[in-house]
Structure 1
């Protein structure tokens, strides 16, 4: 088709396509305005320039299927990607000067195992780990960069972006925002301006596509319909308003009948939006087709027929329309060049086909498509759900299985809809109630608490005390208001009713044969009981008092074999790790082996146990991979708890800047969602962080806010943290009496208060505060109590602080030296740098007093460097004062021995001088991508996160290795 006008748009697209730098562009305009024609022009220009053009089209029927659009867009690239060499390291950690044996240029990126696993998970293969937007976006960038590095630039062309599924659109937006500086990759998207689109908030550059100018509209009309009468010609120009599709279609409509009647029909639609008027024209043509042809068109429309050209090993088969030449003849279909498949002339044709069909016709089409997609459970489930009217257990079971798959891949919100539909199609009342209860539970985890309650009431109409209703109401009361007392009583009653019910088979059919509890899925018969027990344990943990936990353990004991190993694991590790935590670490590690096969809330609970046992770090990479996914489309509450766990591990490992960023993100989410409990829990963790950093005013302000909210509600979990914050902040400020008073508010010296989880965590605080206030006997008693309670065997952190406490309170130098040695040589000591530095500081002080200044310099220097690196100025000042007392003259911080390579050092120096990555690359003959990789490796070595900190950091480091 000859393009008329659009000189400005053509010039911009030509510059976009032929520019060497990567970039993205969104074309926005009403239906029929010519966006697809402009995309065709861009694709042709790119092909003539030797670029690889990959095209895709958003399909309305697939807009609820996660990653369907992304799969369509990437499938031509994925088959070749499977054959490339594997490099398991993150892309930016790979060397840029390696030599490869294939035809890639030196320095070309590879698609590593992590990227392939991301694609596997996103596109439904069961062996891949779940992937958040960022991880999948990085994998897409790696794939595109690798493809472009072979010397052939890539142009991604996406039409009808308004129908792209949300998950795919988020990844496309992530990729589009990061194409700058990546030569050879471009993304071009077209969306309707009159339809809400997931690209509306993508923050990508846009080009509005408006109507044709009057002269161009007249030329286009005369070019395609040269024999129109003057009156009809004027009417068409007036009604089309410069819309190219209307200029092409309206004359044919007028020619179908007597001029006067057609003109009156057209004028009768004058108040209707133009796209709707064009749909009416297509509907008139469809009405003249035979039933067989219309059935073919309907199947193609509902399955996105010819949404992309061609086929390939990575593609999912779509319905191929056959014997539809009649539809081609009347201008509804076209034949794709090359592939030879039939495709709809315009998306409005597809919409018209669906709208014109009767419900029975649509259901018949969905049945055919369900059979076509029998190898793809989620697609099959969508079509089966649409095809079925009356209850049918097989279809309901398929929908339930699809919901389970979606939940484990981050689609918990979508799973709620499928479970609700599965309940509607259930053949028995028991199955209907069970599936509605499952939908209510998942809705509660996705933070749709109101919907969760309505689904729960539907599961058991006429009662507010059904298990599903208790779950929904209890989550609402706990998350929003921190209500632990009444919620605990209500859950206990629900568990006991379920346990003692004579017809409990309605709730828990087939209670026998529960040996393999670890691998049970959401359809396991005692799922409701497990969930009630898990929530009971969570409420007990937040209550944090002895009476509540004793009642909870009594309930667990009465369940007998119905209480799972997981329930006892949580009940032991969440309640009182000193008395009940022994022996659980290895079981937690075993249970962590198959995280990908577990629901997000089960992973979160397991990670909480790992935190209490100080073995959280191995689980953190998984949590970081899935947290974005859960916050986007999955279990929101689990996502926020995952952020808390990541924060706690960052805090323990001394990654305090990262912990602060994680904490503020969690606080913003919890506040936005109205979760009072999670918001104040986040404030408590931020208060702990402020306390160890010596920001006492900030710590006390947050502590006061947490106490004022938690204490009246009886949320002991948070009031204990508040007391711990008070102790640590006072220690940082040197106010040891106040620190001691806060510490004994958690537990008395010489004992560990039952069910006070902070009792063991504040061991070092209480001992130090007692020693500095002349309470040496109480300090010694507390250290011995830790030893006698077996704390060194419970967790690596408790081993470190117990030996540190025993060393600080030792009665003779030999004993002290032995415990200091055991603490500092512990295999996990470096994983807890703040506690280790405090122990080294105490060691240095003791050695200086007993053995002189020279012997004290090593532990004092180690402590001072650690506090400097952590960013704990009060502790650092104390360590440097002790160093001066040991005869070390005050001086500027010594250069840190950080192994920057010559190239890393040079890139960092140029960046510190204000040069951009592109300018640095030109000066050093490197690509901007390679420059970015060098900075990515240099920043953590320098202990910084921004370019602004480069200059100061470089003055502290040693000279780099010589240039090659």
Structure 2
């Protein structure tokens, strides 16, 4: 798992049509060297290729030519393979006590070369040597000599060796493949393939300890299943640990108990010595390395084994020694004291809560913060303190993005909590977890129950609950959820009026609840940074936009204020709320910029849990704007995190968006677009936003395959029988795609009814984007309208360049309409613009369609000139390209600056540098170059 690139390289090595090949696969213990070699052997054998295999002994030095004997053993009795005059050489070389000098090596090399040459006459041959560093030198010398003499024979030679560098004596020109750690997603998939794989904290902790090493993933999971026994170490590591002196084993125990960030002087202080020779045996055994004042273990199982192989009393002593070491930081001291505690200890719990959690949060490590707060809760003496710390842990776990951990903490919290204000905090975290796990009805019900029995008392908390309810309603698409939102918003506004300063009448009670203010009173907020400037107002605007999205209210068109400077984690909720409002209102450029700033803030504070809520909208915005490489990077990153945290529904959203992107590009796609084995586990009935993404992806996929009927079926399912969308935003934005499929499938009348329902729902003043899409759709399916009038209205607004693919599709359909009415010159102008966009976006299907229509108009192939313009545009930076297109669209420097938050002078400076790169000197030429008419 997770070795696709390496497997591809192995396959290319086995393809010997270009001559003999050789490869050395390097990696630490447990990285999968032997498994890759077995894959190569199985692949070669399946194709009928002879496989000659051997492996190192792993013990004492073997006799000369032992490995070569084992390698040739399967073919020693093959008739006519060995010339008669070579048998004496073989018998002599393989006899016990035989010599291994230069003469014997040359003679045996000649025999081996002859054997491989004869075998390769009929089939390719694979020579596979595992653990080559443990093979005898004489055998390796012969094989390396044979490799140098092979010329055109169909022979592949694969070697594996432990470590990151080739063993001594290996040829310098032998290509090497180094196996690093698995990616987080691949490690998580490997863990999921094990029996009884853990979830929540245990899952994340195991993945952290394994550090991407496949063997460590398997062994740590096995140790968890069998109980609290010692973590098994591979034979080689175990023997090296057992051979160490007692003082070095004690030192390794302290090193394994220390946190990875702790420096060597503190570790030496815990040992009571400054003599580094205590580490020498472990260094010489390759178990650790010391550099730059830090100690690192060579293998994750070494750390685990060095700790768990010692008795509990010694492990406790190691933690206490580390806590008492001179120079130890208060945060690490609190953690070690907590690790050494075996019962409730309020002093340690308080230190862990106030120092360690704050340190971890400020460092961006939400996992460490959550774990510290959970440990502090378990060390608490009173239920009151335990409940408060568990609520704080839930908030941190929610920011981390692990709903299973939140659910585990909520179960424990529910047993000890008696505080209604804490219940509000816990309900936010738990409802968010349930929503991420796809249980939208249960999540929304929990929020309603909280409003009834434990209503929030501050503006921040009340708007947080309401905003979370709006996000859940958006995801569920259920009418009963939408209908509750106005009432919840009214109640939140009432709370804000009654407590405008968000005062806490229990100000004397302190303790952490939110990551943004661990020392603040409990009901100061429910998620990170809710007390930041402008956050309640931003959350209120988000809820209002969510409500207005269903009735076409003019409030949707209120401008979104640009964000202030990023001055810490406080603006994050405001950035996300403002970005969501911009997404609802089709202000895509502002939306993308706000999401970018939010991603920067999220990366700095490690809050993937808040990011995951906005990820699909962010990707959707980038796809619509033609920023496809950025969208793909976000999809890849998000799918990896979704696998790590087991967020099936989030992974399905991203898979649907990837299918969408690939269909727009014109990539080759399988007949079944959704390949995730778990997607059927998501209840799409209460996750209509996910269903909408899947339906649109399926429709675009069908269009790419030329199946208009199936495409229409998918797009039509985005709307109910009465034409109402099954979810806000995405179905209406797919109206022109529905119309295009309907036109091809002969279902124009049905699509026109849906178009009328969408137009009525959006009201008299829809957004610019929806106005353009409605005109495009009307031109295709509204038989009572003038198609050319609607096509022109779909193209006339320069703001349409914000969504280049949508505008290019409208141009294409307009050009087809023009050609069929025998107006080829006008059609060619539109098609040239389409082709420029298609080449720039690398939308191959669209480019092919445009070229086909150009040929139908009788035009010469203009792809060369378009490609030249696209190549020149590719030389610009992303910001320069954006400025150039806005300038070509007719915007002034000041207008461009307002959109991109730049000064007019900066915009002018960019254009001054852009013109020479494009070979032009004016805005008019820029407009002509980009075919913007």
- Please give the TM-score of this superposition, normalised by the length of structure 2: 0.50
- Please give the TM-score of this superposition, normalised by the length of structure 1: 0.48
